[in-house]
């Protein structure tokens, strides 16, 4: 292969990554055919506007997790230092005893390329310590559509106990132009026990969050 042809192929690959909105995304992930549409407005929105309000948490999850309120929004200083992101903000919902159950994290990067790099480098986020037999199992998203450029639903579970229909530790990671969004849903109730929610209930939450973010970035 000639050096000119090699250079040309390299340029094409770089251009494909640039126009892909959130960069080159693993084939297993959900991919929006209109990828990159969120890039233009990303610089005009405040990061807190991408956090959802209480009324968007589905009733079934509210009931199972006994959600009674939420904590003050927090900036993840460690995450900012780790990822070199521009901004980060999280919101956590709790029960009457202050036990957390759902957390939404929004991180803004300097551009879609940096956001895509973070999305790829931590495909299941940085919120679960996957050790001692635990594994992040990706759950297919073929039966519903999202507005995110790219996203991934996963369940963190022991290999022998994983079920795609219900889970004790759900997660969702998505990319919208310059933003990476994470949702964590788990509630520890003691003695190594967690409240299970089924896939349909978690997907309802994901769809609500996705619709809100897409509307803000439109």
pLDDT of residue 21: 57
Number of domains in the chain: 1
pLDDT over 70 (residue 137): yes
pLDDT of residue 11: 32
CB 155 within 8 A of CB 162: yes
d(CA 57, CA 97): 19
pLDDT over 50 (residue 3): no
pLDDT over 80 (residue 20): no
**Can you give the residue range of the structural domain that contains 106?**
3-217
Over the range 143-155, which residues count as b (16 or more CB within 10 Å of their CB) and which as e?
eeebbbbbbbbbb
Q: Is the pTM of this model over 0.85?
A: no
Residue 190: strand pairing partners: 193
Residues 6+ apart with CB under 8 A from 72: none
pLDDT of residue 32: 63
pLDDT over 80 (residue 204): yes
DSSP-based helix, strand, coil % in the chain, nearest 5: 30, 30, 40
SS3 category, 26: coil
d(CA 206, CA 152): 10
Q: Taking residues 23-27, what's their average pLDDT?
A: 50
pLDDT of residue 5: 39
């Amino acid at each position: 292969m000639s050096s000119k042809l090699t250079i040309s192929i390299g340029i094409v690959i770089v251009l494909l990554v640039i126009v892909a909105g959130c960069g080159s995304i693993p084939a297993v992930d959900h991919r929006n055919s209109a990828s990159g549409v969120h890039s233009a407005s990303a610089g005009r929105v405040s990061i807190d506007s991408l956090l959802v309000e209480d009324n968007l948490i589905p009733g079934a999850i509210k009931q199972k997790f006994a959600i009674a309120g939420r904590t003050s929004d927090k900036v993840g200083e460690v995450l900012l230092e780790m990822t070199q992101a521009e901004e980060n903000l999280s919101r956590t919902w709790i029960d009457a005893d202050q036990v957390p159950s759902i957390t939404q994290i929004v991180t803004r990067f300097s551009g879609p390329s940096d956001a895509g790099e973070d999305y790829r480098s931590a495909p299941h986020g940085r919120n679960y310590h996957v050790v001692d037999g635990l594994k992040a199992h990706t759950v297919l998203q073929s039966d519903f559509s999202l507005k995110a450029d790219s996203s991934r639903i996963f369940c963190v579970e022991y290999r022998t106990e994983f079920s795609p229909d219900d889970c004790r530790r759900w997660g969702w990671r998505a990319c919208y132009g310059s933003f990476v969004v994470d949702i964590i849903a788990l509630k520890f109730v003691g003695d190594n026990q967690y409240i299970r929610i089924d896939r349909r209930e978690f997907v309802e939450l994901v769809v609500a969050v996705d619709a809100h973010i897409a509307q803000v970035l439109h």
